[in-house]
Amino acid sequence: MHFSCSELIEKLTNRDATIGIIGLGYVGQPLALRFSALGYKVLGFDIDQIKVKELNSGYSNIEHIHSAEVKAAVASGMECTIDFSRAVEADALILCVPTPLNKYREPDLSFVINTTNSIVPHLRKGQVVSLESTTYPGTTEEELLPKVTSSGLCVGEDIFLVYSPEREDPGNVNFTTNSIPKVVGGHTPNCLEVGKALYGQAIDHVVPVTSTKVAEMTKLLENIHRAVNIGLVNEMKVVADRMGIDIFEVIDAAATKPFGFTPYYPGPGLGGHCIPVDPFYLTWKAREYGLHTRFIELSGEVNRAMPEYVVGKLVKALNERRKSLMGSKVLVLGIAYKKNVDDMRESPSVEVMELLREGGCDVSYSDPHVPVFPKMREHKFNLSSVELSSEVIANYDAVVLTTDHAQFDYDLIAENAQVIVDSRGVYRTPMENVVKA
């Protein structure tokens, strides 16, 4: 084995290495804290000066990451910076940057490419570069490899290239960064060995695969599996509703089968950074091979139609009460993409809010996890969360339940709302003022 390879493995295994985390969001922050807690020197990079300042002062802007953890990491030497020239100080550089879709629903790799360009001038022998951002099979080889080798460094000898997809589930108390198994693929056998050493200390169970492409495809399969099954159950919901059947009762009954069935639940659409976005990475790449991913595109179509389905249910409910959508006061309950978190990425609730605003509604929202509507790449609302009380709830023409946070007082809402459009199956007992969506 090449000298720098075994030397780097030793450094990583002995926890003498400096770990550079690029992108300090929902993926990067927990990873930085985990490495810091193990005694590694951690260097965090981000382009957001405010976030860097906050983290350096021991404050986390992510709800489920406690500032006490950040303070402890800073006290033991974790440092965050916007100065990418400091990448030379890191033995490992882990890229945790966003990979959204552009307006044509094609992969937007600008964050990955810009980040890679920022660190390339500062790469040196004896480093490992690991990409964690979800992307199409071939990205590490086609986009990162040429850049990393552009200065004459040889991958697998001088420098090591790894793809290891993030697996975060914000708000899930049953799993932490270290307890979620980690898939790792290397560009060469040496790269894989270094990748295993990098994650082996921080993660309880590392799952090595034979290439970066396999690791990239693994992440897509995980998310496509969810997207397709959610699309199926959303379609079933529409059919069941037309037939006067409660889909949630059906799913609960089916879930009693101890084999061959996994329950998935319908909702107002798909949210989170992964599930609504990642399937289209494969769809886009498959075209290069002359393939048409029909399952993926069909489920995407069904899921993307859900916010409109929910609004359609609201229009009908208002109509039955001799009201129109235009001019109605509507309260949206829960705008994070799933319950009990503050994560707003790709939230279908925001799509519902956009449709309501376009329809002429006076839109408000209530979400205990999102006190002020955040800055988003594609959506703009100048709103703050409404405190719920009997009078406040009764004052709205309708309440649309889009995210079923545990903190909501559902009895209070049911007792005072003129009409509730329930897209999460919270209200199982039929009620006069509840419309299932």
Residues forming the active site: 274
Closest CA to 109 of 147, 72, 57: 147
Question: What is the number of alpha carbons within 13 Å of residue 410 lying toward its C-beta?
Answer: 17
CA triplet 131, 135, 140: central angle to 5 degrees? 45
Amino acid making up residue 273:
H
CB 216 within 8 A of CB 185: yes
Say how far apart CA 437 and CA 435 lie, in whole Å.
6
CB 134 within 8 A of CB 278: yes
The residues, any chain, with a CB within 8 Å of residue 346's CB and separated by 6 or more, are 270, 271, 272, 273, 275, 276, 277, 337
Structure token digits, residue 109: 């790799």
- The backbone torsions φ and ψ at residue 4, rounded to the nearest 5 degrees and listed phi first, read -65, -25
Strands (E), 297-393: 329-333, 362-366
Orientation angle between helical segments 212-242 and 279-288, nearest 10 degrees: 120
The residues, any chain, with a CB within 8 Å of residue 213's CB and separated by 6 or more, are 137, 138, 140, 141, 185
The secondary element (H helix, E strand) that includes residue 304 is helix 294-304
Structure token digits, residue 275: 């599930």
